[in-house]
Amino acid sequence: MNTLIVNGRHVKAREGAMLLEVIREAGVSLPTLCDHAALEPWGGCRLCLVDVTRNEWDGWAKMVVSCMFPAEDGLIVRTDSQRVVETRKVVLDLLLARCPDTPLVQKLARDHGIEQTSYQPNPEPTDCVLCGLCTRVCDHIGVSAIATVNRGAGREVAPPFHEAPPDCIGCLACAEICPTSCIPFTASDSKRTIWGKTFEMVRCTLCGRAFITKEQAAFYDGRNGVPASYFDTCDECKRKAQAKQFSRLSAGAGR
Amino acid sequence: MNSISCADGQPMEAILERHPREEASLIQVLQDVHRAYNYLPCDVLVQVAEALDVPVAKVFSVATFYKAFSLDPQGKTIIKVCTGTACHIRGSGQVIEEITRQLGIGPGQTTSDMGFTLKTVNCVGACAMAPVLIVGDQVHGGVKPAKVAKALNQEGPRDAH
């Protein structure tokens, strides 16, 4: 097991852990926007910056994004050094200039002592912080219906050709994972619409509730051994059926 | 979506034959497609995605990321005016104005006869020759507005503007 020093305290790190995990386990809070437990670290938001050094580095330290830096034995980590705090403030200042009206960005900035951006606010305010969670979760599921397009100041998340994405299965994972809830969608009992594409729903054969899209059922059919019949009933009805079975079994066992 | 220009599919087959069918070939294939069509037609991007087994969203992401790729049809001759610091100071602005006056197109635009596309680039690395004008493959250094007409004439017929 690796031992590190985080803000002066000795902490243990599990093999293969990244610094961010170790720092948070040590009870030190670090802001992040692009980090998600279900996805690989990405290092996109640059908010989890820390200083790392070693005894043999003679006082030299380097700034790294903690989400992508392996928690190696003997590292000395500071999350509150002056240059780290200042750099993080610059990142938040820039984010606030990009997203001046976004409550989450406003709150993060305020938590770090920034009430107003020192840069020129974006003339076309957006809620998208370009954390990449939506495109990464879409890739992770294996759909890859959306991606970032263009570059620099014009970079945005969009479906190919800015048209309804043919590959989208309407799972809404992108909208659910978005930290600023900036991907619009509508969901009713009969239809879902996201990225300009409308989806028909599959209904539970027991309770009649619409619970997934037809495209989702088709996408998961046969994957990881999931049979098509799995989507005949919704999660709730499956749970109920299971509970019934359990109570029958336990009643049988009590006898 | 932009217009379609690959009804025969001939160049596509030849291009795809030259590269291994894998994601790593994407940029080389796109470069070849751009050379064959002078831009990236949307339906060809879909074909590339299918052939290399890469999501269309990824292909579109790469195609929009690089400045070397255009999703709009380009003129036969590409005019590039360097607007880097040295060229800017030495009058690239007036060179652009002169081209606009002669061809009736601004940066990023194409003449209606598809003869010329005007682009501005940030630095071509020839600051000693500033201001630099590149017409097709021909590089012109120390360009003054009065020299623009000659540089354009070398490459082909002028638009009727």
The reply to whether A205 falls in a domain is yes
The reply to whether A107 falls in a domain is no
B61 and A148: CB-CB below 8 Å?
A: yes
Q: Which residue among B1, B45, B57 sits closest to A145, beta carbon to beta carbon?
A: B57
Instruction: Looking at the structure, tell me whether residues A236 and A143 fall in a common domain.
Output: yes
B57 and A165: CB-CB below 8 Å?
A: yes
Instruction: Looking at the structure, tell me whether residues A66 and A161 fall in a common domain.
Output: no
The reply to whether A16 falls in a domain is yes
The reply to whether A102 falls in a domain is no
For A162, nearest residue in chain B (alpha carbons): B1
- Determine the pLDDT at residue B67: 86
B56 and A146: CB-CB below 8 Å?
A: no
The reply to whether A114 falls in a domain is no
Instruction: Looking at the structure, tell me whether residues A60 and A154 fall in a common domain.
Output: no
The reply to whether A68 falls in a domain is yes
End-to-end CA separation in angstroms for chain A: 49
Least confident of B10-14, B57-61, B128-132: B10-14
pLDDT at B68 over 80: yes
Instruction: Looking at the structure, tell me whether residues A74 and A143 fall in a common domain.
Output: no
Instruction: Looking at the structure, tell me whether residues A168 and A71 fall in a common domain.
Output: no
- Determine the pLDDT at residue B9: 58
- Determine the pLDDT at residue B5: 47
Residue B45 with chain A: CB contacts under 8 Å: 160
The reply to whether A111 falls in a domain is no
CA distance B94 to chain A (A): 27
CA distance B113 to chain A (A): 26
By the 8 A CB rule, do A114 and A93 touch?
Answer: yes
- Determine the pLDDT at residue B13: 86
Taking the C-alpha atoms of residue A231 and residue B108, their distance in angstroms, rounded to an integer, is 51
Instruction: Looking at the structure, tell me whether residues A170 and A235 fall in a common domain.
Output: yes
Beta-ladder partners of A63:
A51
Handedness of CA A65, A71, A73, A74 (dihedral sign): positive
B56 and A163: CB-CB below 8 Å?
A: no
Q: Mind listing the pLDDT tens digit for each residue in A48-96?
A: 999 999 999 999 999 999 999 999 999 999 999 999 999 999 999 999 9
Instruction: Looking at the structure, tell me whether residues A75 and A141 fall in a common domain.
Output: no
Residue A165 with chain B: CB contacts under 8 Å: 56-57
Mean pLDDT throughout A230-253? 89
**For an interface test with A, which of B56, B59, B71 has the most A Cβ atoms less than 10 Å from its Cβ?**
B56
pLDDT at A43 over 70: yes
Q: Mind listing the pLDDT tens digit for each residue in B105-154?
A: 999 899 999 999 999 999 999 999 999 999 998 999 999 999 999 888 87
Q: Mind listing the pLDDT tens digit for each residue in B40-55?
A: 999 999 999 999 999 9
Q: Walk me through the domains of chain B, giving residue ranges and CATH numbers.
A: 10-65 (no CATH), 77-153 (3.40.30.10)
Between CA A207 and CA A211, with CA A210 as vertex, the angle to 5 degrees is 100
- Determine the pLDDT at residue A28: 96
Using a CB–CB cutoff of 8 Å, tell me whether A166 touches chain B. Answer: yes
Q: Are strands B116-121 and B77-82 parallel, antiparallel or unpaired?
A: parallel
The residue from A52, A80, A108 where one domain ends is: A80
Question: ipTM surpassing 0.90, yes or no?
Answer: no
Mean residue pLDDT across chain A: 94
Q: Which domain holds residue A17?
A: 2-80
DSSP state letters, B11-68 = HHHHHHHHS-SSGGGHHHHHHHHHHHHSS--HHHHHHHHHHHT--HHHHHHHHHH-TT
Taking the C-alpha atoms of residue A127 and residue A157, their distance in angstroms, rounded to an integer, is 12
pLDDT at B3 over 70: no
The reply to whether A42 falls in a domain is yes
Q: Which residue among B56, B61, B65 sits closest to A167, beta carbon to beta carbon?
A: B56
pLDDT at B156 over 80: no
pLDDT at A109 over 60: yes
Q: Which residue among B1, B42, B58 sits closest to A147, beta carbon to beta carbon?
A: B58
Among candidates A56, A55, A81, which has minimal Cα distance to A66?
A: A81
- Determine the pLDDT at residue A255: 56
Domain count, chain A: 2
Instruction: Looking at the structure, tell me whether residues A236 and A175 fall in a common domain.
Output: yes
Least confident of A9-13, A186-190, B5-9: B5-9
Mean pLDDT throughout A6-13? 96
CATH of residue A32: 3.10.20.740
For A152, nearest residue in chain B (alpha carbons): B65
